[in-house]
Amino acid sequence: MNGTVTAVSRSPEYSFSKPNADSITLLEGLGVEGDSHLGKTVRHRARVKLDPTVPNLRQVHLIHAELFDELRAAGFDLTPGLIGENVTTSGIDLLALPTGTKLHLGDAAVIEVTGLRNPCLQLDRLMPGLMKATLPRDADGKLVRKAGVMSVVLTGGVVRPGDTIRIELPPEPHTPLEPV
């Protein structure tokens, strides 16, 4: 069960989109060096207003490139970094991973998946209808959050496009991902 890093992105400013980079450096317990969401405590603006002391479970945001293919077929022309992710992957069903999955990125970095990204209205500001496209309902009427997963950095390291991603599942029983 391996995948590939297809793009990496970061932004030092609070901006929705993040420009692509040749590499990013993950810092243990903090996130992406030079990214506005770097820190031990929550950095998402709305969450900081509620309680700035909450641990940052959203240090690194990942999206699967297959989502871009799906959205492109629905009329949304998206490219890596455009909807705020730090790492774009291919070959891994990120949304099906259980909570606590470790992803080994490249030679050294290890992150732990903490939960699902909850799509927000900023998606519609980027492209009208994009939030609904990333937040459909299944046959039972339950919301399906497709906007990627969030993680924390366990072991730092440099991550580049083309790096292999190795999946390490947590012990069973597995807990499905929930929004963080």
Query: What pLDDT sits at residue 120?
Result: 84
- Element housing 124 (H / E): helix 122-126
User: pTM for this structure?
Assistant: 0.96
> Residue 55 domain-assigned?
yes
Say which CATH number the domain at 140 has. 2.40.33.20
Structure tokens of 68? 């871009």
- Could you report the per-residue pLDDT of 120-154, keeping only the tens digit for each? 888 999 999 999 999 999 999 999 999 999 999 99
> Residue 28 domain-assigned?
yes
> Residue 176 domain-assigned?
no
Residue 73 domain boundaries: 2-168
Query: What pLDDT sits at residue 172?
Result: 96
Map 54-110 to HEC letters.
Answer: CECCCCEEEEEHHHHHHHHHCCCCCCCCCCCCCEEEECCCHHHCECCCEEEECCCEE
> Residue 164 domain-assigned?
yes
Task: Assess contact for 40 and 52: CB atoms under 8 A.
Answer: no
- Could you report the per-residue pLDDT of 58-102, keeping only the tens digit for each? 999 999 999 999 999 999 999 999 999 999 999 999 999 999 999
> Residue 101 domain-assigned?
yes
> Residue 48 domain-assigned?
yes
Map 1-59 to HEC letters.
Answer: CEEEEEEEECCCCCCCCCCEECCEEEECCCEECCCCCCCCECCCHHHHHHCCCCECCCC
> Residue 179 domain-assigned?
no
Number of domains in the chain: 1
> Residue 62 domain-assigned?
yes
